[in-house]
Amino acid sequence: MGSSTASASLRIEGMSCASCVGRVERAIRAVPGVAEASVNLATERADVRFHADAQPIAVVEAIRDAGYATTEETQEFAVEGMTCASCVRRVERALKAVPGVTDAGVNLATGWATVRHIAGIADATAIEAAIESAGYAARPLSSGDDSADRETETRDREFASLRRALIAASLLTLPVFLIAMVPGFGSHPLIEFALATLVLFGPGLRFYRKGIPALLRRAPDMNSLVVLGTAAAWGYSVVATFLPRVLPTGTAHLYYEASSVIVTLILLGRTLEARARGRTSQAIRRLVGLRPKTARVLRDGEARDVPLDEVASGDLVQVRPGERVPVDGAVMEGSSLVDEAMISGEPLPVRKEPGAEVTGGTINKTGSFTVRVSRTGADTLLAQIIRMVEQAQGSKLPIQALVDRVTAWFVPAVMAAAFATFAIWMVFGPRPALGFALVNAVAVLIIACPCAMGLATPTSIMVGTGRAAEWGLLFRKGEALQALRDVGVVALDKTGTLTVGRPELTDLVAAEGFEVDDVLALVAAVEARSEHPIATAIVEAADAKGLARDGVSGFEALPGYGVTATVDGRKVVVGADRLMARHGIGLLPFAEAAARLGEEGKSPLYAAIDGRLAAILAVADPIKGTSPQAIAALHALGLRVAMITGDNRRTAEAIARTLGIDEVAAEVLPAGKVEALRSLRGEDRRIAFVGDGINDAPALAEADVGIAIGTGTDIAIESADVILMSGDVRGVPNAIGLSRATIRNIHQNLFWAFAYNVLLIPVAAGVLYPVSGTLLSPMLAAGAMAMSSLFVLGNALRLRRVAPALALG
């Protein structure tokens, strides 16, 4: 935007009238360098033209100062050529320097850059150019559901290229190594020179193409260290081969084997690293593999197999036995059992009949059915899950900030250490000092690998979040993976989370002389005329038993008391104790049962038939069968468990006693859940909240970690950090256990990455030589460098074997 004709079109949020338009225009025109500004209320856009010296970001600030907001967008880019943590920092720095970019994060393990920018100022072209100016290749990732396929192809190409380079380097290096290291092969300087040169400027050229431009930009990376080390060893050997007289007497040694073996070992490390990094993203590939390529669509009365991207919303799709459901939609005809384990983690198939929702990627087991398509492509649940997992895998945890601070100065510090090593050996080293100085300086350059530092956090995140997806746990925000580890209290909503979420008939005890089914049939016949939730629960219980409901007459509802009616000539009264008292019916036979129900937090109802006490009933929201296991598992993890509910205290405390819950906040109105959460959190405890309803959304957002039941409302899910796709509360201890395992794994990786460099850089510099005569060969340094990255990757992959605290199903 340097020319006077440069322009931008910004979307403005918050304008409501003509005075808003005038206010925004005045604010923009007051910015130095703005030639013209026009704001349109209908389109909510500001078209701005700039002079050469304008700062477009100043326009955005002026709009914000005027009380309005500009729209921001998030784009993802695949970045090729990054090899270490310093590469990550370099790309991030380049992106954040682009006018209009408000935030940028780069992930070494995934090779992705996530950029947040102001729409209308920064665009994909400018962002790509910034990445390329930093020395890397870039392309935008599409929001469609083929991006993961393309990433797999990119990884496969990278691995194949590295493998070819490794094979070539190995074949060329072996003769050089044998000539130099094995007695009997004789001295062949020209052969060594020719083969080593082919290694460095053939398979090893990739290091020079990246490392030399980085040095010229004064932003050295790992490739630069390899370039300096191998070029120094090779260049010294070339001088010793062709101009030995220019070197001090006794120093004309050859180090061709060192330069070529270093390149070969580093290529070996990167090849194995590329293979291991591919394994860290297996969860994504498995999810992508669940997506069928075609669908059998009914068109013009015929079933045709068409590519999935040609299927439209509203189409009818046939699903045959054994096939994967290709789209999201509702069953119109037929029925079957569908395996939804990939969504929920639940192993048992779910019966699908007309009206039931089905999800693309799930497996049809036995029958066949027809689905009316509701969502396709990037809008399907599977595509959304893939995006969530990708975003979580690409996120940075707070712990990564330490790594970023270290890598900011690490490579320049290594280069300084190498030069200091060279100088010290030249001054204080034994003869031939030049040879010792060169070898030890090269060893320092090669062994100091920031790759392990850059991979320590993202690889663990990738494997951990991928493992979570296999369990039906989705981390919408990667930061939650670390935050969950520090949670001390888990607060759960009651209704729909710990309980089923709808009233059910839990108790019916018949009086002497009455049969349970007879009483239930008569009571259900009366309650069928009522719209009360309690009545619905009683009717559903009768229907489940297949009990007939006879004709009803004289129905009367008495608010606060109950209902009365005549059923097939019999007078039926159903209601609270006060209704029985009004009809002069004694309740003494059920005194003991009523006391028991009260202790369980249930309010008893009574039924009388033809003036006689017939039964005591209780309708309640029953506890889910999985809730006791979940609470016990949370206690086993050392956590306190709380429950927040709007129920009366007696009912809430009865449920808490049954489940072993530690703290209860009862009689909480929907608007009071946030305050209840703050009270439970206290001053120094981190708290997670688990809920599923619309009224849970504020509490989910307020908690340090919000965990939404995946079967709940969309707004609750959008407010959460973690989603339990199965709706099974046992996923909560699983998520916390996985969080702890992942952060522990990251700590192990970081300890190794830092300890490796702290210990081995001094060894490479020769600190042990005065004590024991030990020096570290540059070849061993290259092998150790490769092993450090492989150790980190191998340790991260151990997370794939982590077992859930509680198995679902």
Tell me which of 687 and 780 has the higher pLDDT.
Answer: 687
**Per-residue confidence (pLDDT) for residue 745, from 0 to 100:** 93
**Per-residue confidence (pLDDT) for residue 733, from 0 to 100:** 94
The Cα–Cα gap between 396 and 89 comes to 13
Phi, psi of 352 (to 5 degrees): -120, 125
Q: Are residues 513 and 479 in the same domain?
A: no
Q: Domain limits at 336?
A: 287-391
Do residues 514 and 609 touch, judged by C-beta distance below 8 A?
yes
Q: Which two tokens stand for residue 136?
A: 């890397």
Q: Are residues 417 and 541 in the same domain?
A: no
Mean pLDDT of 154-158: 74
pLDDT in tens, 15-35: 766 677 778 888 888 888 888
The reply to whether 735 falls in a domain is no
- The CA-based dihedral angle spanning residues 25, 27, 33, 35, taken in that order and rounded to the nearest 10 degrees: 10
595 pLDDT more than 60: yes
Which range is most confident: 5-14, 49-58, 186-195, 345-354? 186-195
Eight-class DSSP state of 67: T
Single residue among 43, 70, 97 that ends a domain in this structure: 70
Mention every residue, 6+ apart, whose C-beta is less than 8 A from residue 30. Answer: 62
Do residues 66 and 31 touch, judged by C-beta distance below 8 A?
no
679 pLDDT more than 80: yes
The percent of residues above 70 in pLDDT, for the chain, comes to: 90
56 pLDDT more than 80: no
The reply to whether 733 falls in a domain is no
pLDDT in tens, 216-273: 877 777 788 888 888 888 988 899 899 888 777 776 778 888 889 888 888 887 887 7
Q: Are residues 525 and 584 in the same domain?
A: yes
Tell me which of 315 and 301 has the higher pLDDT.
Answer: 315
Q: Are residues 298 and 331 in the same domain?
A: yes
**Per-residue confidence (pLDDT) for residue 450, from 0 to 100:** 65
Tell me which of 395 and 58 has the higher pLDDT.
Answer: 58
Tell me which of 349 and 400 has the higher pLDDT.
Answer: 349
Question: In this structure, how many other beta carbons lie within 10 angstroms of the beta carbon of residue 266?
Answer: 30
The reply to whether 332 falls in a domain is yes
Between the alpha carbon of residue 805 and those of residues 126, 556, 741, the distances in Å are 47, 52, 11
792 pLDDT more than 90: no
Question: In this structure, how many other beta carbons lie within 10 angstroms of the beta carbon of residue 653?
Answer: 16
632 pLDDT more than 90: yes
The Cα–Cα gap between 94 and 84 comes to 16
Q: Residue 497: which of 356, 706, 739 has the closest Cα?
A: 706
**Per-residue confidence (pLDDT) for residue 785, from 0 to 100:** 75
Q: Are residues 311 and 164 in the same domain?
A: no
The reply to whether 465 falls in a domain is no
Q: What is the mean pLDDT of the chain?
A: 83
| Side-chain half-sphere CA neighbours of 639 within 13 A | 28
Can you give the CATH number for the domain in which 24 is found?
3.30.70.100
Single residue among 691, 725, 759 that ends a domain in this structure: 725
Question: In this structure, how many other beta carbons lie within 10 angstroms of the beta carbon of residue 460?
Answer: 32
Q: Are residues 381 and 495 in the same domain?
A: no
Q: Which neighbouring-strand residues pair with 373?
A: 329
Single residue among 70, 88, 123 that ends a domain in this structure: 70
Active-site option among 493, 577, 704, 728: 493
Mean pLDDT of 742-764: 87
The reply to whether 803 falls in a domain is no
pLDDT in tens, 444-495: 888 876 667 777 788 888 888 888 888 888 887 778 888 898 899 999 988 8
Q: Are residues 368 and 451 in the same domain?
A: no
Concatenated DSSP letters of 403-452: HHHHHHHHHHHHHHHHHHHHHHHHHHSPSSHHHHHHHHHHHHHHH---HH
The reply to whether 509 falls in a domain is yes
**Per-residue confidence (pLDDT) for residue 1, from 0 to 100:** 40
**Per-residue confidence (pLDDT) for residue 3, from 0 to 100:** 45
The reply to whether 566 falls in a domain is yes
Rg (CA), the chain: 35
Reported as a pLDDT band with limits 50, 70 and 90, residue 738 is very high
Reported as a pLDDT band with limits 50, 70 and 90, residue 387 is confident
Give the burial string for 588-621 (b: 16+ CB within 10 Å, else e). eebeebbebbeebbbbbbbbbbeeebbbbbbbbb
Mean pLDDT of 665-691: 84
**Per-residue confidence (pLDDT) for residue 170, from 0 to 100:** 94
324 pLDDT more than 50: yes
Reported as a pLDDT band with limits 50, 70 and 90, residue 2 is very low
Q: Are residues 490 and 547 in the same domain?
A: no
Q: Are residues 590 and 526 in the same domain?
A: yes
Q: Are residues 583 and 523 in the same domain?
A: yes
Q: Is the dihedral of CA 687, 690, 696, 697 positive or negative?
A: positive
The reply to whether 110 falls in a domain is yes
160 pLDDT more than 80: yes
Q: Which two tokens stand for residue 278?
A: 């591919």
Place of tokens 């078209």: 47
493 is catalytic: yes
Q: Are residues 634 and 593 in the same domain?
A: no
Q: Are residues 267 and 409 in the same domain?
A: yes
Query: At 302, which helix (H) or strand (E)?
Result: strand 302-307
Can you give the CATH number for the domain in which 345 is found?
2.70.150.10
Do residues 315 and 337 touch, judged by C-beta distance below 8 A?
no
Please state the domain count of the chain: 6
pLDDT in tens, 103-133: 888 887 778 888 888 877 778 888 888 998 8
**Per-residue confidence (pLDDT) for residue 215, from 0 to 100:** 84
How many angstroms from the chain centroid is the CA of residue 537?
Answer: 40
Between the alpha carbon of residue 449 and those of residues 343, 405, 518, 745, the distances in Å are 40, 16, 80, 20
Q: Which two tokens stand for residue 792?
A: 């980190």
Extended strands (E) in 312-418 = 316-319, 328-334, 336-339, 350-352, 357-358, 363-364, 369-375
Can you give the CATH number for the domain in which 605 is found?
3.40.1110.10
Concatenated DSSP letters of 126-186: HHHHHHHHTT-EEEEPPSSTTHHHHHHHHHHHHHHHHHHHHHHHHHHHHHHHHHHHSTTS-
pLDDT in tens, 515-547: 999 999 999 999 988 877 788 889 999 998 988
**Per-residue confidence (pLDDT) for residue 144, from 0 to 100:** 45
193 pLDDT more than 90: yes
